[in-house]
Amino acid sequence: MDSKWQKNLKRYDELVALNPKFERLGKTMPYTSANTHMFSLLNKDGEFGIRLSKESQEKFKEEHNTTIYKSYGATMRDYVLVPDEMFDDMELLSKYLEESYQYVMSLPAQPRKKK
């Protein structure tokens, strides 16, 4: 893994640890999940994405000069790309992660797939 991935993984773990409700899941693709929905993700390129409501997505993209989030070449629905420099303000980033959590908690839970 490259150094950006390692650096951002460490920062991602620190961010998730700030809120006791959150648990970092995934070995090769770190993510957080609640109510059967993922709400944050660190992709193989070390890019961090969070899931927000449509209104919050637009505001976030405008305020932080960023765009939609892609992982493994696929556009992730409802996700925005978090600029790396936002890791310098963990308090602000933690508020966005909490907003993301609240958003997925407002969604209907996905039915469990039968094996």
Give a yes or no: residue 102 inside a domain. Answer: yes
Residue with the two structure tokens 């959590």: 101
Give a yes or no: residue 37 inside a domain. Answer: yes
Model confidence over 5-64: pLDDT tens digits? 999 999 999 999 999 999 999 988 999 999 999 999 999 999 999 999 999 999 999 999
The CATH number given to whatever domain includes residue 87 is 3.30.1460.30
Domain that holds residue 36: 3-106
Give a yes or no: residue 115 inside a domain. Answer: no
Q: Is the pTM of this model over 0.85?
A: yes
Give a yes or no: residue 11 inside a domain. Answer: yes
Number of domains in the chain: 1
- Among positive and negative, which fits the CA dihedral 85, 61, 92, 9? negative
Model confidence over 44-53: pLDDT tens digits? 999 999 999 9
Q: Which two tokens stand for residue 15?
A: 């961010």
How far apart CA 115 and CA 96 sit, in angstroms, is: 35
